[in-house]
Amino acid sequence: MSGREALVARARETIGRGSQSFAMASRLFDKETRERAWLLYAWCRRCDDLADGQALGHDMSVVADPVARLDEIRTRTDKALAGVPAGDSSFDALGQVALECSIPRAMIDDHIAGFALDAAGWMPENEGDLLQYCHHVAGVVGQMMALVMGVKPDDADTLARARDLGLAFQLANIARDIGEDAANGRCYLPMSWLAEKHVDPAALGDPANRAALAGLSRRLAELAERYEESARRGTAALPFRSAWAVLAAAGIYGDIARKVKARGEAALDERVFTTRREKLGWLFKSWRQALNRAAYAPAS
């Protein structure tokens, strides 16, 4: 097994254990794109796990050394991009895919900037701050994924739509994880939104705030839906299999936002997820959508 094959095998295992939704959608890509998507995912997942004190996206915990973890992310990333073994296959995976797809260093640094915000204990003051954070941790990942799919670096419109899909995913995550984030000392709800509802950010767990938080969760879910719709308009520029994978991921992950919105306060008590049957349903629906993806093209 070659060095690249070993990296791909480990990355495939990582996505299979880290995200069933993304793993299922990734199978729709052609072989080359699929492997590159796995390589990029492996790096993103590992950085997120280091920053959040979790394992493959599960069991987040408060970390005692956030700055040291950020330094580790930066150091290993630098090594991987320089072609030097980073001592971690997930970082080496980034070096491989960045070389193959000419991913700009600026995009990679843009993603790491999101982890820097978390390490600093940052909280958004307003909706603009929230969206900028979502860009760092997910929007720019969407743009890097677009490059993996063969989108040209100067195709600004398609890259913008790819960014919107990342924003939709992250907004859905935040809407779903308000309680878990609060338990780990994090709050991604804009301070201005909380002030409107007279909610103290230090008291998110107070039962008296449940109705207000459910309302803000719905607001996040509705914002996610708008970005999901915008992202769909970028699939007209993609090859069929890439469009199919993107539309499947959008539908599967979009269901998280839709369920949060529908469940109200109940969504604060139990983590929302999509079932295997629902995921399979989206594979079929997105196939039909991909066949007709020209309908998503923005009006000229």
For residues 104 and 207, state if they share a domain: no
Please indicate, yes or no, if residue 128 is contained in any of the structural domains.
no
Please indicate, yes or no, if residue 191 is contained in any of the structural domains.
yes
Report pLDDT for 208. 92
Report pLDDT for 121. 87
Report pLDDT for 52. 79
For residues 102 and 194, state if they share a domain: no
**Chain-centre distance of CA 142, in angstroms?**
8
Average pLDDT over residues 139-161: 96
Helix residue ranges per DSSP H, the chain: 3-18, 20-26, 31-52, 66-81, 89-101, 105-119, 127-134, 140-148, 156-176, 178-183, 191-196, 210-232, 240-263, 276-291
Position 268 pLDDT exceeds 70: yes
**Among residues 122, 150, 173, which one ends one of the domains?**
122
Percentage of residues in the chain with pLDDT exceeding 70?
A: 95
In whole angstroms, what is the distance from residue 259 CA to residue 91 CA?
Answer: 34
The per-residue b/e assignment along 64-85, b for 16 or more CB within 10 angstroms, e otherwise, is eebeebbebbeebbebbbeeee
Please indicate, yes or no, if residue 127 is contained in any of the structural domains.
no
pLDDT tens, 132-145?
999 999 999 999 99
Apex 25 CA angle, 29 and 219, nearest 5: 135
Do residues 290 and 243 touch, judged by C-beta distance below 8 A?
yes
Do residues 80 and 86 touch, judged by C-beta distance below 8 A?
yes
Q: Which domain holds residue 52?
A: 1-122
Average pLDDT over residues 50-72: 77
pLDDT tens, 80-128?
999 999 999 999 999 999 999 999 999 999 999 999 999 998 999 999 9
**Among residues 103, 122, 141, which one ends one of the domains?**
122
Residue type, 15: I
For residues 110 and 153, state if they share a domain: no
pTM value is 0.92
Which of 186 and 150 is assigned the larger pLDDT?
150
Position 299 pLDDT exceeds 80: no
Report pLDDT for 166. 97
Provide the number of structural domains found in the chain: 2
In whole angstroms, what is the distance from residue 183 CA to residue 181 CA?
Answer: 5
Please indicate, yes or no, if residue 296 is contained in any of the structural domains.
no
Interacting residues of 280 by C-beta distance below 8 A, sequence separation 6+:
none
How many CB atoms sit inside 10 A of residue 284's CB?
10
For residues 146 and 103, state if they share a domain: no
In whole angstroms, what is the distance from residue 175 CA to residue 256 CA?
Answer: 9
Report pLDDT for 55. 67
Report pLDDT for 78. 97
Please indicate, yes or no, if residue 23 is contained in any of the structural domains.
yes
Do residues 263 and 208 touch, judged by C-beta distance below 8 A?
no
For residues 151 and 223, state if they share a domain: yes
For residues 12 and 77, state if they share a domain: yes
For residues 80 and 145, state if they share a domain: no
**Among residues 63, 89, 122, which one ends one of the domains?**
122
pLDDT tens, 161-179?
999 999 999 999 999 998 8
Please indicate, yes or no, if residue 82 is contained in any of the structural domains.
yes
Interacting residues of 259 by C-beta distance below 8 A, sequence separation 6+:
267, 272, 274
In whole angstroms, what is the distance from residue 225 CA to residue 74 CA?
Answer: 33
Report pLDDT for 61. 64
In whole angstroms, what is the distance from residue 170 CA to residue 157 CA?
Answer: 20
pLDDT tens, 198-239?
999 988 888 899 999 999 999 999 999 999 999 999 999 999
Coil, helix or strand at residue 67: helix
For residues 85 and 105, state if they share a domain: yes
For residues 118 and 156, state if they share a domain: no
For residues 138 and 285, state if they share a domain: yes
For residues 155 and 11, state if they share a domain: no
Report pLDDT for 80. 97
DSSP state of 189: S
Please report, for the domain that includes residue 143, its CATH number.
1.10.600.10
Please indicate, yes or no, if residue 299 is contained in any of the structural domains.
no
Please indicate, yes or no, if residue 187 is contained in any of the structural domains.
yes
Average pLDDT over residues 59-74: 83
Position 56 pLDDT exceeds 80: no
For residues 232 and 280, state if they share a domain: yes
